[in-house]
Amino acid sequence: MSDETYPAGLRYHPEHDWVRVDGDEATFGVTWFAQEALGEVVYYDPPEVGATITAGEPYGELESVKAVSDIIAPASGEVTAVNDRVADAPDLVNSDPYGEGWLITVRMSDPAELDALMDEATYRAYLQGLAGPGSGA
């Protein structure tokens, strides 16, 4: 497992997905919080390259020893690449969620959707709110 981290420069969705933007292309993955909540990831069911995904809707699944979780798209667009390494070694999501454990790249259809996402500081505050007062987290 990796150490808890939320890199600056990424945008974060409330369902614990991250986006790294490069022009109209975006790379998606799940946050440290998501992989920690899932536990050991054992299977990744990605979308097909060329598929159209919609912000706020599931685009694939991660299965862990605990549960199967939908992966929620933080932005809309066409899938341009799938990280086949994660399909072959799903534990990359646990060991390197922001690097080798990326999931897909997308050509965004509406980059303005990113405005609704959180920056690193806002996401950290959001996570504190999820922990709730008196939870010890």
Q: How confident is the model at residue 3 (pLDDT cuts 50, 70, 90)?
A: confident
b/e sequence 34-50, b meaning 16+ C-beta within 10 Å: bbeebeebeebebbeee
Report the relative pairing of strands 52-53 and 104-108 from DSSP bridges: unpaired
Tell me which H or E stretch contains 119. none
Asked if 73 and 53 count as a contact pair (C-beta separation under 8 A), the reply is yes
- Domain edges within the chain: 15-110
Q: Is the pLDDT of residue 134 over 70?
A: no
Q: Is the pLDDT of residue 135 over 60?
A: no
Q: Is the pLDDT of residue 64 over 80?
A: yes
Could you give the CA distance from residue 107 to residue 19 in angstroms, rounded to a whole number? 12
Contacts of 23 (CB under 8 A, 6+ apart): none
Q: What is the pLDDT of residue 86?
A: 97
pTM, 2 dp: 0.91
Fold classification of 15-110 is OB fold (Dihydrolipoamide Acetyltransferase, E2P) (2.40.50)
pLDDT in tens, 52-61: 999 999 999 9
Report the relative pairing of strands 104-108 and 77-82 from DSSP bridges: antiparallel
pLDDT in tens, 76-114: 999 999 999 999 999 999 999 999 999 999 999 999 999
Q: Is the pLDDT of residue 1 over 60?
A: no
> How far apart, in Å, are the Cα atoms of 76 and each of 42, 70, 110?
26, 16, 7
Q: What is the pLDDT of residue 136?
A: 47
**Mean pLDDT value across the chain:** 93
Hey, what amino acid is at 20? Answer: R
Q: What is the pLDDT of residue 132?
A: 63
Residue of 19, 10, 97 lying closest to 56 (CA atoms) = 19
> How far apart, in Å, are the Cα atoms of 83 and each of 92, 104, 117, 127?
10, 6, 23, 27
pLDDT in tens, 19-42: 999 999 999 999 999 999 999 999
